[in-house]
């Protein structure tokens, strides 16, 4: 039987290959995983979302909140390194 955690990681690997970056590191955000993530190392990363939402806030999963994105905000979050 294939479990969800294995399928999640295999999908991420497939996505990396399809965008032409098969060795790209794979990370998962810190919130609300129904998977056992404690087996993976957790490291802090700075991220910057590219683009602009104008005055429209959008939901961003890394902190489970809404943000107006202007392309300049840099957030520091802990993420699980899956590969």
**Mean pLDDT of the 31-40 span:** 81
- pLDDT-derived band of residue 8, with 50, 70 and 90 as boundaries? confident
Q: Which residue has the tokens 């590969």?
A: 83
Q: What are the tokens at 19?
A: 């965008």
Predicted structure pTM score: 0.73
Q: Please say whether the beta carbons of 71 and 50 come within 8 A.
A: yes
d(CA 31, CA 79): 9
Number of domains in the chain: 1
Domain carrying residue 45 = 4-81
Residue 37: pLDDT above 80? yes
Token pair of 7 as six digits: 């399928």
């Amino acid at each position: 039987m294939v479990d969800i955690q294995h399928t999640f990681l295999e999908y991420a690997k497939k996505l990396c290959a399809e965008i032409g970056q098969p060795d790209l590191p794979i990370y998962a955000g810190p919130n609300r995983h129904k998977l056992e993530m404690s087996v993976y190392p957790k490291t802090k990363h700075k991220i910057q979302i590219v683009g602009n939402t104008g005055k429209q806030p959008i939901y961003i999963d890394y902190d489970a909140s809404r943000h107006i994105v202007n392309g300049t905000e840099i957030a520091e979050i802990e993420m699980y390194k899956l590969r």
